[in-house]
Amino acid sequence: MMRYLLLLIPLAVAVAFGYLMNRVRDRQARATALAALGLSLTVGPVGFVMLFLVGETATDPGGWLALGLIVAWLVPTVVLCGIAYLWPNIAVPVLAVSMLPALALGVWGLVDFHGLGSWEDRTGPVVLIAVIVPAVAMALLGLSRLTVAGAMMVAVSVLPIVLPAIGAGAEAGRALTIGTLDLPILISGLLYLWAGHLTKGADSPLNGLRRKPHLFTGHRTRHAPA
């Protein structure tokens, strides 16, 4: 049930919002609205998925093992988000590297779909976690590097799902159904790319949301475009 809610809600919002944006003539206003929607579609639904994963892990297996498993993916998520927010120049190559586990799992699914499925049955939704960990940070990277962030979000949400679907053959539908949880990330990435096209390579329209404490005074100041 959760999969279908996460599929329908962002899809309906994105379609309706895209229709409305076509009626707005100012390109900057359209780009800002599209980028803001892309950010919210990742932070909202993906945040809900992360809370669901925490709850499920706390229930099964529970105990200290559950705590260790949660920390294993939650800490990297926080670190990547911090890098993306504070140091976008560094974040681009770091996030590109952070995509590799998800892509490697996608290649495994292409070569041996049932082997990957059996492993996930024993260990949990590793592919999903490998996608959402970098994806949240990529959404924050969109505050300063809109087009690059959008391209990476599309890649990390599509390839780990499409490659196993190809390897699944007649069971491709099952692989794609599992991938519906990644749909908000894909939609957000496409919205970022659309907004980036409207700005024609200029600064991200969300750049004003980025603030950083001054190194010496401690006061919070706006970032200059990085």
Q: What angle do CA 36, 40, 42 make, to 5 degrees?
A: 120
What predicted TM-score, i.e. pTM, was given to this entire model? 0.80
Q: What element of type H or E holds 33?
A: helix 27-59
Residue (of 217, 214, 194, 216) closest to 33 by Cα position: 194
Asked if residue 38 lies in contact with residue 189, where contact means CB atoms within 8 angstroms, the answer is: yes
Q: How far, in Å, CA of 157 to CA of 148, rounded?
A: 14
**Residue type for 60, please?**
D
- Res. 157: pLDDT tops 50: yes
The answer to whether 140 touches 176, Cβ cutoff 8 Å, is no
**pLDDT-derived band at 72, boundaries 50, 70, 90:** confident
Residue 170's pLDDT band (boundaries 50, 70, 90)?
confident
Q: What amino acid occupies position 126?
A: V
What pLDDT, on a 0 to 100 scale, did the predictor assign at position 26? Answer: 72
